[in-house]
A and B are shown apart, each in its own frame.
Chain A
């Protein structure tokens, strides 16, 4: 077997570590590589669209003033003039609509494109973070970041960025157009705008806070509901229906009141801002009408003004909303970058890359290990030697260091003292990728993925596997018959929407998986505690098949599984307290191993006694 290099590099098209920046706006800009042009294009298209809208009103002005009032016709033909102007309106509408669509499409292209590669990157990145990062980071927190925060960024690009652009462009273009009609008129039309902007900013900040409270209350209500429904037997057994109704009523009413408050704020803001902006507009109308009557502007200019000013004034109050929600996008950027900046665990950093598989000769020389939090030593001065194909059993209570010890082999963690030699070479010289290819792990609590059983067995094999080969592995793992008993056989889905496998069945599926992988070194977290007695024998048989010709580390919980080991290490508080074979350790009368052994043999005696007692 030669080392299998990955046949493809995952197509992570953008490395978001390049988008790290103290300044969040700069960071967002860096994120936009490859999409900057489309996004600028989206903004430009928006400008064209806004311009077309403005020109519609200017055309109206031309129509009213030149054609209707002054009777100047194109080519001196009434019909021709009307056709041209009608066509002009349609043409402008087409330009406005077309470019508005173009802008929307480009913005969506940008937002969805960035989101897609961000999701891809995060997925790929997070699974390559160190073991200790995963051990210390709650899954829920990571999920929150890769879902809600990613979505907040998506909205930043698709709605908020482009929304702000739209309002600002509408304002600028129409303001210039009105200034062009008449400067004085332009200036009196925007008196309340700065004020309105501030008020809307203030309002939406407030309302966002209230909305969060409202959502929190909804979450409380959901929890109450969920707990009640899952605990229905308790509720009924204590006849607490009325109490539960009262509790739900309290939360439900609380939510109603919070909703009412929120609605009151909204129903105050919108009409009040209606009045302010409406009066501003009316003031402009009257002012313009008087100018028109005084002959300072034409009727056509007045008509154009009335149309344009609408697009100047009304969007402003939405600007506050967009700015406030854009700020959540910024916060999300920060939260995502906290994950992005975590250092990855290099897979291919080893200098020693043998062409074939290892033999499996392992030497521990005074190995110590301390977790990065620098508290106590997890392992102290561990030394032993396992020859290829031998089995070594680790015994000890929870926290004695058994798991820490085996975690060093695939370099999930790096030891902090001494050295570990594999076939005479220190394992830090091998790449993690190479080591993990050589090592198979059967976990205490087997983890299956929600896909078919077949896919679970071939998971991580890294080559195409024939059905025959899968079945051979399943048979060796004593799980073939179980699988066939399911209606969909090997295509049975595991988990939520599929079949629930028992602990023992899961374990045998992982054994089959490991058999297919065919590693030289095996780590068995041997726990049959989650398994009912009937399947225990089947598992044991499967494990024996698996251990054949492999260097095996057994994390043992019972005496049976260590008796045949070539070497037994009894661990206590990170240290080896006894070392030897079963035959060597049993005679050591005050040793820990002997105590365990005594208890075990006593069980059988006790059972005999128990039964003879009743007879």
Chain B
């Protein structure tokens, strides 16, 4: 829902068309210029024929009926029929060409944006809400494609229609055509004003609508509180404020729309009145025919459609241009982290890792990591502990080269890691996130994500190592079970087990884990611990640790506070210091054991007796 609000907010923006943006928008059509030309011609022909049909009707009256010439009528009718079939062909062509082209432009834009997003660095994602990026790829591309196709179709058709109509009118009687010609700008002006007003109301109603949905959502989710606090009446009253606002905006938009066409029509009718009065005189003078009057009536009656189309395209164009500018801006953002010139692939990550006086700060320049120095031997397990915001995640992000140091050097195998290609580093890292992220699809697909060419037996093997196999086979469809959007059909613990299996399959040389803080049930917790252990075997690993068992297992513990290493050493060394670590540890100790021995286990399950032993053995 917040995505919807972002979208609405962005839609409000308008931009004026400038030459560079215009040229750039046009380049989107360049690869498909044949299609553009095709629909341009067919739409022009269609609209020319539309006006010509009215002229033919006039001819039937003036040269056929009035003169009693049946052959002439048949002749004109034949032309009419042939052109009609021809026009159907044109209509087919332009709908198809313009429509498919619109889809194609959208496809191109989305592809371009998506591919570019893959290359952008994590820092870009940190600064831009996902909702915005989604709006860029979905709605902005749609709006630009619409402008380039249906916008062009409508404008071309409308412009051609007006031009040919006026031309035919001038052929019939130039004086009367002049009258029509002068009212067209007036009609257009009024139409545009209407469109703009309607658009404003329409946006208000959409924004209100999104608030209404929010209110519904909140009231359903918080229904227990609502009932307990007897808020029903007041909630309804508040909600009525929203629906009243909605009513006002959408009612106004609706009746403005209803007023729009009649207003344009009435202006046309005023012209018609003048024409009939004036044209009548002309007929009596022999300057005008009955068919001519009829043609003028037709032309004027149908003039409102092209006017309406022009007004709509014009009113919406500014928003589409703003969309285009946002798209271009995203496309022009260079990735911050990229391969250096002459980068070579790293052969291994198992040669020792070194942070050498590394500084890091984000765009706001507030230091996150300061003068950070650390040497890690191959196969070592490092536990990072400390308060949220202390810089633990930044260390890991730098290590993965999601970010690069602002100052100082990070060395792998004794060499600045910026000399290596990104792909060669990333393909040797296995990572398990705090909030495990899965993709829609089967369990199998999600594990295979670790190594795309892995066979089914390897996937099962990895799942067994990670301790995920046992729960997977209990799923209804086993490895083919759909995990739902973002893995939502599984529990957090299960997601974590699958992401462990995924990391196992990747056979990483460097393993990074951000432990989940939220509690999972004891059995799953034990499985996760076992899986982690298996993964860390013989690998260098960094763990942002929350669990005591993990912390105690580390070769070295770093207490990270305010972007620095506050304390480091083994568990025993640090406890003796009675400093930061001691405080963190005792707090966590009580907390964890209270949860672990909490009532659920004590009352419910058999684990109650085993638990203390498990700890004692540790």
Contact = CB atoms under 8 A, between A and B. Distances in A.
Given A147-B213, A600-B594, A614-B575, A78 B281 contact: yes
A233 B431 contact: yes
A249 B225 CA distance: 46
B96 A447 contact: no
B600 A397 contact: yes
A195 interface: no
Nearest to A297: B65
A1 interface: no
A293 B73 contact: yes
Interface string B221-246: 11111111111111111011001101
A143 B220 contact: yes
A614 B572 contact: yes
A90 B239 contact: no
A605 B235 CA distance: 52
A40 B604 CA distance: 67
B454 to A, nearest CB: 12
Given A124-B236, A462-B230, A517-B229, A595 B218 contact: no
B273 A90 contact: yes
Contacts of B23: none
B269 A90 contact: yes
B400 interface: yes
B281 A225 contact: no
Contact of A263 (B74, B84, B103, B213): B103
A607 B430 CA distance: 34
Interface stretch (A183-191, A299-307, A376-384): A299-307
Contact of A232 (B122, B243, B284, B604): B122
Contact of A104 (B85, B91, B226, B259): B259
Interface string A77-96: 01001110111011011101
A275 B95 contact: no
Residue of A6, A303, A347 with highest tally of chain B CB at under 10 A: A303
Nearest to A126: B220
A86 B276 contact: yes
A112 B73 contact: no
A233 B514 CA distance: 12
Residue of A98, A123, A263, A433 with highest tally of chain B CB at under 10 A: A123
Contacts, number: 450
A412 to B, nearest CB: 7
B68 A64 contact: no
Given A235-B118, A237-B429, A263-B103, A227 B440 contact: yes
Nearest to B388: A532
Chain B interface size, as a band, is: 35 or more
Contacts of A596: 597, 599, 602-603
A533 B546 CA distance: 14
Interface residues of A, number: 159
B590 A104 contact: no
A268 B422 CA distance: 51
A108 to B, nearest CB: 3
A119 B243 contact: yes
A239 B428 CA distance: 9
B99 interface: yes
Interface stretch (B250-258, B354-362, B466-474, B534-542): B250-258
Nearest to B103: A259
Residue of B119, B223, B244 with highest tally of chain A CB at under 10 A: B223
Contacts of A119: 212, 239, 243, 246
Given A112-B254, A123-B215, A400-B603, A433 B230 contact: yes
Nearest to B74: A286
Given A120-B243, A397-B600, A236 B122 contact: yes
A496 B218 contact: no
Interface string A91-134: 01110111011011101110111011001100110111001001
Contact of A127 (B235, B423, B506, B601): B235
B107 A460 contact: no
Interface string B103-127: 1101100110011011100100100
A131 B228 CA distance: 11
A401 B597 CA distance: 20
B122 A289 contact: no
Interface in A224-248: 224-241, 243-245, 248
Contact of B91 (A90, A274, A496): A274
A96 B262 contact: yes
Interface string A1-42: 000001011111000000000000000000000000000000
Contacts of B440: 223-224, 227
B107 A253 contact: yes
A342 interface: no
Interface in B412-470: 422-423, 426-427, 429-431, 433, 437, 439-440, 449-450, 452
Interface stretch (A353-361, A436-444, A464-472, A539-547): A436-444
Given A396-B599, A558-B594, A82 B277 contact: yes
Contact of A89 (B122, B234, B276): B276
B42 to A, nearest CB: 11
Given A253-B107, A398-B600, A233 B122 contact: yes
B539 to A, nearest CB: 15
A558 B265 CA distance: 77
A67 B224 contact: no
Given A222-B138, A293-B65, A236 B400 contact: yes
Interface in A257-299: 259-260, 263-264, 266-268, 270-272, 274-275, 278-279, 282, 285-286, 289-290, 292-293, 299
Contacts of B512: 237
Interface stretch (B165-173, B290-298, B310-318, B326-334): B290-298
A447 B125 contact: no
Interface in B72-114: 73-74, 77, 80-81, 84-85, 87-93, 95-96, 99-100, 103-104, 106-107, 110-111, 114
Nearest to B254: A108
Interface string A292-336: 110000011011001100000000000000000000000000000
Given A112-B251, A143-B213, A252-B110, A238 B228 contact: no
Contact of B597 (A120, A139, A599): A599
Given A113-B247, A266-B99, A462-B234, 8 more contacts: A116-B243, A259-B103, A271-B87, A286-B73, A293-B73, A306-B57, A572-B603, A602-B612
Lowest 3 CB-CB distances: which A-B pairs, in order?
A: A104-B258, A460-B229, A93-B269
20 contacts: A6-B233, A12-B236, A81-B280, A86-B273, A100-B262, A101-B258, A112-B250, A120-B243, A123-B236, A123-B239, A225-B134, A228-B114, A238-B502, A238-B506, A256-B103, A264-B96, A272-B88, A529-B595, A558-B599, A592-B602
